[in-house]
Structure 1
Amino acid sequence: MLRIGTWRSAESVDVVVCGWRDSGPGQLRTGTKLIYATGGPVPALPGLRVGSRAACGAGEIARALLQGLDVVITAPGCCPAAPVVAAGMWHYGWTRGDLGALAGATVAGLALAAQPGPCVAEICRDGRSSLDGNVTEPALRACLAAWFAGGRYRTPEVTVPLESVRLSQVAPSRIRIAPCAGTP
């Protein structure tokens, strides 16, 4: 399971934290990667490998993670869904052929970016996800609709039609996002 969280406050830079825990066969793996989503200063992080240049887009962020960086800085104007899509590409090995997973991660990334405070998204291998935070299904649907100009959201990896987005409120502060359709 891939867990991606944000924390936002007036005192901190905007950070996306990607954590994972694999419980498959073999040794248990856990870890954390940081993706700084703003051009602000990066605090000293002794012992962590920090990227020297800003990555733009999910593909570049994923390549930086695959190269072993612990901290990736994103360029200003980067797609708000890119850190979540990149984390899935890095963790699950998604390629441009995994349209459903990329589409689901894109919706989860947009949903996470729309939250004003701390929030966590869990992303599954098939692109299903859930969002935990101060969030309701109607409010999230309205935020997502604003992103989908002409009924579609386009990234370099996938185009997501708004009609394929399925949200359900499963708890007072938890929304499930069903797998979405995507086209190249």
Structure 2
Amino acid sequence: MLRIGTWRSPASVDVIACGWHDDGPGPLGTGIKLIYDMSGPAPHLPGLKVGALVARSTEEIAELLVQGMDVVLTAPGGCPAAPVVAAGIWHYGWTRHDRGALAGATVAGLALAAQPGPCVVEIWRDGRSSLDGDVTAAAVRADLADRFAGGRYRTPEVTVPLESVRLSQVAPSRVRIALAAAI
């Protein structure tokens, strides 16, 4: 499972942290990757591999993660779902043929980006996800509707129709996100 969270406060850098826990065969794999929006100066993080390039797309973020960077710097103004989709590409090895997973991660990334405070999204291999924080299904639906121009959200990887997004409140602070059909 892949867990991705944000910290947002006036005194902090906007950062997405990708944590993962592999439960497959072989040795246990856990860790953290950081993805920073470079609207300000680059943070000094001694001991971590920081990408020299500023990533401008989902593919560039994923490529830097695949190359082993601990910290990826991103250009401001890109797709708000890009860090989440890129983390899924890196972690699960998704390709353009994994449309359902990419679409699910896109919706999860948009939902995560819309949250005003700290929040965490969990992504499974098939693109299903859950959003944890101060969230309700109704508020997440409203946030997503604002981003889906004409009822669709388009990325270079997928186009997601809003009517395919299924949200369910599974706990007071947890919303499950799924797609009704393959995209």
Q: Residue deviations 1:117-176, cap 9 Å, x none?
A: 000000000000000000111111001001000110001111101110000000010000
Matched, 1:13 2:5: no
Q: Shift of the alpha carbon at 1:43?
A: 2.1
Question: In percent, how many aligned pairs have the same letter?
Answer: 75
Q: Which amino acid aligns with 2:78?
A: C
1:118 corresponds to which residue? 118
> Quick check: 1:161–1:181 contact (8 Å CA) kept in 2?
no
Q: Which residue of 2 aligns with 1:131?
A: 131
Equivalent residue runs for 1:34-183 within 5 Å:
34-179=34-179, 181=181, 183=183
Unaligned regions of 5+ residues in structure 2, if any?
none
Query: How far does the alpha carbon of each residue in 1:83-104 deviate from its partner, in whole angstroms, 9 at most, with x for none?
Result: 0000000000000010000000
State the distance in 1 between where 2:133 and 2:85 align.
20
In structure 2, the residue corresponding to 1:60 is in which secondary structure? helix
**Structure 1: distance between partners of 2:38 and 2:176:** 27
Specify the SS of the correspondent of 1:84.
helix
- The TM-score normalised by the length of structure 2 is 0.97
Matching residue's letter, 2:65 = L
Structure 1 gaps, min length 5: none
CA distance in 2, matches of 1:180, 1:110: 17
Q: Provide the rounded CA distance (Å) in 1 between the counterparts of 2:160 and 2:100.
A: 9
Contact 1:58/1:85 (<8 A) preserved: yes
Secondary structure of 2:35's partner? Answer: strand
Cα distance in 2 between the residues matched to 1:49 and 1:176: 34
> What RMSD over aligned residues (CA atoms) do the two structures have, in Å?
1.0
Equivalent residues of 1:147, 1:153 under 8 A apart: yes
Give the match's secondary structure for 2:19: strand
What SS does the aligned partner of 2:52 have? Answer: coil
Aligned length: 183
TM-score (norm 1): 0.97
Cα distance in 2 for partners of 1:94, 1:155 equals: 15
- Looking at secondary structure, tell me which structure has more strand per residue: 2
C-alpha deviation, 1:181, in angstroms: 4.3
